[in-house]
Amino acid sequence: MNELSQRRTHTLCFLIASVGLSDEQREFQKVAFDFAANEMAPHMAHWDQNEIFPVETMRKAAQLGFGGTCVHPDVGGSGLSRLDASVVFEALSTGCASTTAYMSIHNMCAWMIDTFGNNEQRGKYCPDLCSMEKFASYCLTEPGSGSDAASLLTSAKLQGDLYVLNGSKAFISGGGDTDVYVVMCRTGGKGPKGISCLVVEKGTPGLSFGKKEKKVGWNSQPTRAVIFEDCKVPVANRLGIEGQGFNIAMKGLNGGRINIASCSVGAAQACIQLTRDHMHVRKQFGEPLSNSQFLQFKLAEMATRLVASRLMVRQAALALQEDRPDAVPLCSMAKLFATDECFTICNQALQMHGGYGYLKDYAVQQFVRDIRVHQILEGKSIWQKMRPLQNQKFL
């Protein structure tokens, strides 16, 4: 495929991704696409194979405003809307889905502190998080409570002006390498109303980490257990009031689900572009694969699923930004649909690469590995199917 054809392919996909966006949104989308192409994509395989957490690259992204997309400007954020953030994470994910997914989690934590923290907490944590001088991790899941998050057991006993934490969190993105841990813990009785949210800083006595997990994908971000053994945290580090933690966690996840779905959309777009390029250069039976009507139809079906996923995600982002009654089910539906459909797109792209798609020299296999977990984290696909049925206003 010659340079002109490559440029036309990139332009076509960019224009499809830009439909319905304002001029300003197109501008920062282009900035994100360019950053993904120049600063992320060339290193994606290296980060994956060597399990490198690309701190300096993420700090460069933060200089463009991508470290605190939805955080208020008075504490260093970009003050973007949910739709704006979705556009950014989709574009960045075309360069490396794993790294972008971590950035989306970091952004979720920064938003939670900005939204539910007091002015002192916002001023203390948000500027460093928005610049990515410091990194954050979201700590909800435990070894015995995944989808049933309200049954978490990590306890926080009040002793004077301190909480004493005991328990552990599992599968924590960035665990051990990050600086700030937004922790859901039990300060009261059973159920969601007994849960509070504490900010725990790395280096706090009693805070430790498990071994670095070996994963199928998401290798550019470390994953470890986070362990609390008589870990003393000031009451001043609590976000909101006691018993508000579960609500804070769920509100964080509504935006998180949109962003993870956006990462899947970006990965799917990248795979479609890679497959289209491959079909132009790969020949079988004396002609390029691009001449096969069957494969043309397959690519058209993939592109249709991509655009449908993108529209669903952006609709959910608008609903959440406007605080509409149907926002929560729409966020769940968008995550369910986009993560499932986009994984299918990436998997089909691998298939259309043939044996080459199974080689680590070809990026398509990494996108498949990296976004498979999007159907699991921040609410498994099966559980997302429950939310529309539980919301009477939506029905």
Query: Six-digit token pair at 271?
Result: 């795979």
- Burial annotation 61-80 (CB, 10 A radius, 16+ → b, else e): bbebbbbbbbbbeebbbbeb
Q: Which helix (H) or strand (E) segment is 208 a member of?
A: strand 207-209
The type of residue at 162 is: L
Q: Tokens 């002109």 identify what position?
A: 4
As a whole number of angstroms, the distance between CA 149 and CA 53 comes to 28
Contact 366, 40 (CB under 8 A): no
Host H or E run for residue 230: strand 223-234
User: What contacts 10, CB < 8 A, 6 or more positions away?
Assistant: 273
Let me know: does 201 contact 137? Beta carbons within 8 Å: no
- 90 in catalytic set: no
CA atoms within 13 A on the CB side of 160: 4
Catalytic-labelled residue, pool 39, 90, 142, 378: 378
Pick from 160, 174, 72: which is nearest to 121 by CA?
A: 72
| Residue 4: Cβ-neighbour burial (10 angstroms; 0-12, 13-18, 19+) | exposed
Which H or E run includes 33?
A: helix 23-35
Q: Catalogue the active-site residues.
A: 378
